[in-house]
Structure 1
Amino acid sequence: MSEFVENNEVTEEVEATEEVEATEVTEEKEVEEVKEEENANESITTMEDALDSVLDIKSGDTVYGDVLAFDENNQVRVAIKNSGGLEGVIPTNELAATRVEDPKEIVAIGDEIELVVIKPIQDKENGNFLLSKKRVDAKKVWAELKEKSENGEIIEAPVKDVVKGGLVVDAGVRGFVPASMVEDFFVDDFSTYKGQTLEFKIIEIDESDNRLILSHKEIAREKREAERAERMDELEENTIVEGKVARLTNFGAFIDLGGVDGLVHISRIAHEHVKHPSDKLTVGETIPVKILSIDKEEGRISLSIKDTLEGPWENIDEKAPEGSVHTGTVKRLTNFGAFVEVFPGVEGLVHISQIAHEHIETPQDRLTEGQEVQVKVLSNDAEAQRLSLSIKALLDKPEGYEEPVRRERSESNDSDRPRRPKRNRNSNSQAPSRSNEPRTNTNSINDAANEGSFTLGDMLGDAFKSLQDDAE
């Protein structure tokens, strides 16, 4: 009896275990069925979403795409994300705001980029949609530029091209700098600006009209004024510095001393007379200059070139010793002679008596201003900066010409010479005029004496000798 009870109990336990196992299997099947149903629903939802996204892509939409390749026309092929395998193409002119030569400079294969749908493409071989990267970038850039404009911020941008009327810059969008807003001085050739990255102020911005007007002039002026003030503090009067010829005018030359310009007046370019600065200087050349004065309040610097050069009269004893022959230019003609320049800034006097062997009434009878002549140095006074010159000393004497001999006074023959009756100083009678005596102009003599430091004897020459002979 006891064994039967035990067997029943074992049987009941086995049956209970089997029932539990059967229940667990049933539950597992139900869970699997639920999962399969959920997966099926998710798959249906995903497909519906994909179909919906394809149907929803239209012009003006913003999409994301992965760069796939570059075609033979340098267009970029893109796989549009979440579109069920749709593709699009980006023309070169829609990659960036400025001209693109090589699209690989803008994007690379595998890049994920944001795009704007321009329109569907009928020819499916080139993709399903025409896309633009430039327009997405432009929206962001316009927003940033507008904010910077409102805050008065400065922007940096490279100059991409030089066009008639100004510069084209890449500020993320196309910007234009009118010629009058490039610098605060006149610029004749803008070609050197291409490729430079400059700072700009935003003058005008209008996204709807794609209009961005920029200016570099105010920034350049402020920067130059700061550099100018700093440089002027460094310069000292009466010192010699190097500078570069920046501009030439009728009245002189502007020299760039490194951020600050100084003026060399035309009278300070050379020791000799200069008709125009371009006769002596070339724009761009580097030259030494002496600082004569600095006016910080007015921002003016006065310079001199000739003060750095050897004086024209220095070593004149070696350059023009007595008896030497030189080719000179007739600079000025007076009643008593001609001033001839034998070296730049060095003039000598050819007295009228030294122009020709025969008697002449005026220097103009034989010479003209600007004429080149051969002259011989009769005397040289370096201290007084005076040269006495002769033309006739280099000329052949006319046939039958005899050089006048100066009479010498001596005690032996003094008593034998006939005495000229003395003129009564109180007499009103006038002495007869000597037509063969040279006439002199007092004003011309004074002018020459002031300019060339010539003595009265130098200027009167033979006339002074004849007066001495007559007095004897």
Structure 2
Amino acid sequence: MVETNNDLQVGSIVTGTVIKIDEKQVFVDIGYKTEGIIPISELSNLHVENPGDVVRDGEELTLQVKKIDDDEVVLSKKMVDAEKAWKDLQHKFDQNEVFETEVKEVVKGGLVVDIGLRGFIPASLVETYFVEDFSDYKNKTLAVKIVDLDQEQNRVILSHRAVMEEEQEKKKQDLLQSLQKGQVVEGTVQRITTFGAFVDIGGVDGLVHISELAHTHVEKVSDVLTEGDNIKVEILSVDLDNERISLSYKNTLPGPWSGIEGRIKEGDQVEGIVKRIVSFGAFIEIETGVEGLVHISQIANRHIGTPEEVLKVGDKVSAKVLSVSEQDERISLSMKEIELEKEKGEIEQYEKEEDFSSFQLGDMIGDKLDKYKK
């Protein structure tokens, strides 16, 4: 309650108007026989360099009488502000309220803020990440909440980090709820392990298993991705209970069969490595991730009982493309055709070099000549 200014006592609450601002004090008309004085140290609970930064001429203030002498009345603005601030802070603390405050000082160990009195944000409670230099935080407004309040100890500890963590958690839950299997999203590679890569897709990390990095076998994750890479990934699954997200990188990349009909055409001669041998033929890798089948009937220009009679895994072979289908991811190959064409070429070359009659040539090579002269 504001008392009348005619009966002043130490502790009385009075109103006054600023009439003069000096370097170290402020003079206030409080309707008393002498002007009231607010020392610079009683203007604010924070450090003040210039009284003019806190009050202005003609401003009406609510003040508390701190000392009375015959010719001097010492007043305090910060005591009134503090009492009001404590009540307000207690309410905010009880309600776990988030509010904004301005950073007034950067000190060793954290930040000093203006909350009607001196509040402190320890360095560990400023951000969710490590901050090397806090100099840019001066005069910055931060959203905070109170984590420790003790009026007897004159202690108010605030946290900006707690506010940010709550916002991140809400964003994370919203994102988890919105993700759908098959959805393609953008993300940043955060961490690489032996079994895959963790990718931040907007506030939550998902795992790209090493088997989902490429259409081909991957020995090391670092052969495909680097920390900091911005990539597109496909959502494979979302486990809301355990907050786990499985991602695929390879599903966003063109497959090895994509555009195959433009690169390989019927009649082309290709080279490849024997990757697998089965009872009905052999699979030849002619591009990374692309295998064609040489049916057992197309392996040799003679009858064979099993592919192993001619081929073994790892052999490098040439073959002729019989057919290509991107849709079915199927290529039919013939080694026999290459062999026949080679024989035909040898015969034609022989005919050019030697002027034999057809009878003489027939005696030498049997019925092979007839086969190529149809």
Which TM-score band (shorter chain)?
A: 0.5 to 0.7
Q: Matched residues in 2 for 1:318 and 1:102: separation? A: 78
Counterparts of 1:107-122 in structure 2, within 5 Å, are 107-118=55-66
The answer on whether the counterparts of 1:79 and 1:85 sit within 8 Å (CA) in structure 2 is: no
In the comparison of the two structures, how many residue pairs are matched? 276
Superposition RMSD in Å: 4.6
Q: Deviations over 1:16-65 (max 9, x none)?
A: xxxxxxxxxxxxxxxxxxxxxxxxxxxxxxxxx99x85xx565x554432
The answer on whether the counterparts of 1:316 and 1:382 sit within 8 Å (CA) in structure 2 is: no
Q: 2:253 aligns with which of 299, 305, 309?
A: 309
Aligned to 1:154: 97
Q: Deviations over 1:224-261 (max 9, x none)?
A: 4443333222211112112345x335455544433433
Q: CA deviation at 1:105?
A: 5.1
Structure with the larger strand share: 2
Q: 1:97 to 1:261 in 2, by over 3 A?
A: farther
Q: Deviations over 1:177-197 (max 9, x none)?
A: 4455567xx522275877243
Q: Matched residues in 2 for 1:193 and 1:276: separation? A: 38
Q: CA deviation at 1:296?
A: 1.3
Asked if residue 197 in structure 1 is aligned to residue 142 in structure 2, the reply is: yes
Asked if residue 459 in structure 1 is aligned to residue 315 in structure 2, the reply is: yes
Please tell me the residue identity of whatever aligns with 2:18.
V
Aligned to 2:45: 97
The answer on whether the counterparts of 1:198 and 1:216 sit within 8 Å (CA) in structure 2 is: yes
Aligned to 2:29: 80
Aligned to 1:40: none
Q: Deviations over 1:290-309 (max 9, x none)?
A: 11211112111122333323
Say which SS state the counterpart of residue 208 (structure 1) adopts.
Answer: coil
Q: 1:280 aligns with which of 226, 231, 248?
A: 226
Say which SS state the counterpart of residue 456 (structure 1) adopts.
Answer: coil
Higher relative contact order (CA 8 A, sep 6+): 2
Aligned to 2:19: 68
Say which SS state the counterpart of residue 58 (structure 2) adopts.
Answer: coil
Asked if residue 290 in structure 1 is aligned to residue 241 in structure 2, the reply is: no
Q: Mind listing any 5+ residue stretches in structure 1 that lack a counterpart?
A: 1-48, 325-347, 350-378, 388-454, 462-472
Q: 1:208 aligns with which of 141, 152, 175?
A: 152
Q: Deviations over 1:311-359 (max 9, x none)?
A: 46756898999999xxxxxxxxxxxxxxxxxxxxxxx97xxxxxxxxxx
Please tell me the residue identity of whatever aligns with 2:28.
A
Q: Matched residues in 2 for 1:61 and 1:106: separation? A: 22
Asked if residue 136 in structure 1 is aligned to residue 85 in structure 2, the reply is: no
Q: Who wins on radius of gyration, i.e. which is larger?
A: 1
Structure with the larger helix share: 1
Asked if residue 187 in structure 1 is aligned to residue 129 in structure 2, the reply is: yes
Identity of aligned residues (%): 35
Q: Mind listing any 5+ residue stretches in structure 2 that lack a counterpart?
A: 274-283, 293-310, 318-374
Q: Matched residues in 1 for 2:221 and 2:187: separation? A: 22
Q: 1:239 aligns with which of 183, 196, 208?
A: 183
Q: CA deviation at 1:112?
A: 0.8
Counterparts of 1:421-460 in structure 2, within 5 Å, are 456=312, 458-459=314-315
Deviates more, 1:103-112 or 1:228-237: 103-112
Asked if residue 381 in structure 1 is aligned to residue 332 in structure 2, the reply is: no
The answer on whether the counterparts of 2:183 and 2:235 sit within 8 Å (CA) in structure 1 is: yes
Question: What is the TM-score of this pair, normalised by structure 2?
Answer: 0.56
Q: 2:115 aligns with which of 157, 171, 178?
A: 171
Say which SS state the counterpart of residue 143 (structure 1) adopts.
Answer: helix
Please tell me the residue identity of whatever aligns with 2:231.
I
Please tell me the residue identity of whatever aligns with 1:308.
T
Q: 1:298 to 1:165 in 2, by over 3 A?
A: farther
Question: What is the TM-score of this pair, normalised by structure 1?
Answer: 0.46
Q: Matched residues in 1 for 2:65 and 2:205: separation? A: 55
Q: 1:230 to 1:138 in 2, by over 3 A?
A: same
Please tell me the residue identity of whatever aligns with 2:202.
G
Q: Matched residues in 1 for 2:30 and 2:288: separation? A: 96
